[in-house]
C-alpha cells in the first residue's frame, strides 16, 4: 500500500510540475511579448517561477514564485534575486564582478 501511495504521489508531483511550468511557458510565449519587459528582478519572475518549481517542487516552488511575484511592483527597486539552491544562484556566485553579498541577502528576508 505504501509503495502504491509513493508512486501516486510521485506521479501527481510530476503532473503538477508539468502543468505549472506549461502555464508559465504559455505566458512567456503569448502575453509576455505583448506586455514587454516589466520585471524588476533577475532572473525574471517567470524564469524564477520555472526554476523554483524545478528545484523545489510544485508546492514549495509555487509558494516561492507567488512571494516573488507579489514583490515585483513599482515600489520595489528589484535587483538580483536568484532561486535558493538553483542554477541562478550558482551563476550569481560565479560572477566575480558582483559584490559578494548579492546572493546572501535574499536568504535573510
Q: Which helix (H) or strand (E) holds 41?
A: strand 41-42
Query: pLDDT, tens digit, for every residue of 81-102?
Result: 999 999 888 888 876 555 555 5
Which residues, including other chains, have CB under 8 Å from residue 30's CB and lie 6 or more apart? none
Mean pLDDT value of segment 54-77:
95
Residue 67's alpha-carbon distances to 7, 26, 61, 95, in angstroms, are: 30, 21, 10, 26
For residue range 25-57, what is the model confidence (pLDDT) as tens digits? 999 999 999 998 888 999 999 999 999 999 999
Taking the model in full, what pTM does it have? 0.81
Examine the pLDDT at 23 and tell me if it is beyond 90.
yes
79 forms beta bridges with 41
Grid cell listed for 19:
502543468
Amino acid at each position: 500500500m505504501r509503495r502504491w501511495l509513493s508512486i501516486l504521489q510521485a506521479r501527481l508531483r510530476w503532473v503538477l510540475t508539468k502543468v505549472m511550468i506549461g502555464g508559465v511557458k504559455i505566458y512567456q510565449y503569448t502575453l509576455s511579448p505583448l506586455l514587454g519587459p516589466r520585471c524588476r528582478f533577475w532572473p525574471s519572475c517567470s524564469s524564477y517561477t520555472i526554476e523554483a518549481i524545478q528545484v523545489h517542487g510544485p508546492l514549495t516552488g509555487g509558494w516561492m514564485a507567488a512571494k516573488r511575484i507579489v514583490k515585483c511592483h513599482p515600489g520595489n527597486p528589484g535587483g538580483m534575486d536568484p532561486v535558493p539552491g538553483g542554477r541562478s544562484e550558482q551563476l550569481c556566485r560565479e560572477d566575480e564582478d558582483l559584490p559578494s553579498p548579492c546572493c546572501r541577502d535574499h536568504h535573510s528576508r
